[in-house]
Each structure stands twice: as C-alpha cells, then as structure tokens.
Amino acid sequence: MNHLLLTHNSLGVGAISNLVGANSCGALSMFIGTTRDNFEHKRVASLEYEAYEPMALKQLGNICDEIRKRWPDCLNIAIYHRLGLVPVGEASVVIGISSPHRQVSLESVAFAIDELKKTVPIWKKEVYDNHESAWKANKECQWISKTSNDCCS
C-alpha cells in the first residue's frame, strides 16, 4: 500500500514506521531528512517549503509506481513531506519502505529520495539567523532552468 502525505504538521517518524511495517517483511528502511543548522558557512534558523500539491502528490505516486516495477517485493511505501516552516532538528521528509529482505528496502528508499529531489515540485527556502533567506535549488532537479534557481526540495 502507498501512503503519501504533504502536511504542515510535524512528521511522526515512529507512526510512519508503524504504518509501513508488516509481519511478512523482514526489512523496513527509512530515510529521514532533517533541517540542519548550517549551510555554506551560514547559520540556518529554519527551512520553509512550498509545493504545487496536486502535481507533487501525483509525482509521489509515480515514484511509488516505479519502485513497485523495479522492486516488486516492496510491500508498503510511505512518502511524507512537510510544508511550511520546519525548525532546525525537525524532519522535513520521511520515506519508509518495507520488504521481505533488506537490500530491496535499502535500494528502494535511496531511489525514492533521489527521485523526489529530481522530480517533485516542492520548493525550499533557507531562513538564516540574520533574518535573510534564500530559495535553494537541488542539483538533482531535472526541470531547473539554467538561468534560474527555482526548483524542488
């Protein structure tokens, strides 16, 4: 089953783990992306995320479809992304995938975060401790303009 969510609420890592876990699976792999307190010698106070939600959810579903094609043994997939302000130390994205064996879940989680960064229309702004801010582009993003910094999480 696929569990996809964009939310302005805190992400409960334990709840997501419980959601994707299954007695028939011997592996549950997770990626938890958190807000760090620094970037390129600047002190980060928080991150702020925006999304084009209908397209973002559709693309997250496409990522799940591709995971199931590449790794048919995956049982449950959760991809949760936080929107709005995310303070330092809190999770902005949590991906959890269960499968019978560890290699499948590890590979599929790595694929999921890489594809999210490349293809999902979620934008990230870094807010610094001096109250300045900057929208940040992912180097992985496939649809970034060469003259623009606009892109996804």
H helix intervals, the chain:
13-20, 53-70, 102-119
Whether 143 is covered by a domain: the verdict is no
129 sits in the region (left: phi over 0; alpha: psi -120 to 50; else beta) called alpha
Strand, helix or coil at 4? strand
Residues annotated within the binding site are 101-102, 117, 124-126
Q: Is the pLDDT of residue 43 over 60?
A: yes
Cβ 46 vs Cβ 35: under 8 Å: yes
- What share of the chain in percent tops pLDDT 90? 82
In this structure, what token pair is assigned to residue 71? 């790794």
Whether 49 is covered by a domain: the verdict is yes
Q: Is the pLDDT of residue 132 over 60?
A: yes
Instruction: Give backbone dihedrals phi and psi of 142, rounded to 5 degrees, phi first.
Output: -80, -25
Whether 63 is covered by a domain: the verdict is yes
Whether 115 is covered by a domain: the verdict is yes
Whether 139 is covered by a domain: the verdict is no
81 burial via Cβ count (<10 Å: 0-12, 13-18, 19+): buried
Whether 137 is covered by a domain: the verdict is no
pLDDT mean over 142-153: 51
In this structure, what token pair is assigned to residue 136? 């940040």
CATH number at residue 66: 3.90.1170.40
What is the per-residue pLDDT for 92? Answer: 97
Count of domains forming the chain:
1
What is the per-residue pLDDT for 84? Answer: 97
Q: Is the pLDDT of residue 66 over 90?
A: yes
* Local confidence band at 143 (pLDDT 50, 70, 90 cut-offs): low
What is the per-residue pLDDT for 147? Answer: 46
In this structure, what token pair is assigned to residue 9? 């609420």
**Tens digit of each residue's pLDDT (9 = 90 or more) over 21-36:** 999 999 999 999 999 9
Please give the Cα distance from 135 to 142 (Å, whole number): 17
Residues annotated within the binding site for substrate are 101-102, 117, 124-126
Please give the Cα distance from 70 to 66 (Å, whole number): 6
Q: Which domain holds residue 109?
A: 2-129
99-103, 141-145, 146-150: range with lowest mean pLDDT: 146-150
For the ranges 32-46, 59-73, 127-141, the one whose mean pLDDT is highest: 59-73
What is the per-residue pLDDT for 16? Answer: 97
Neighbouring-strand partners of residue 133: 127
For the chain, the helix, strand and coil percentages under 3-state DSSP, each to the nearest 5: 30, 35, 35
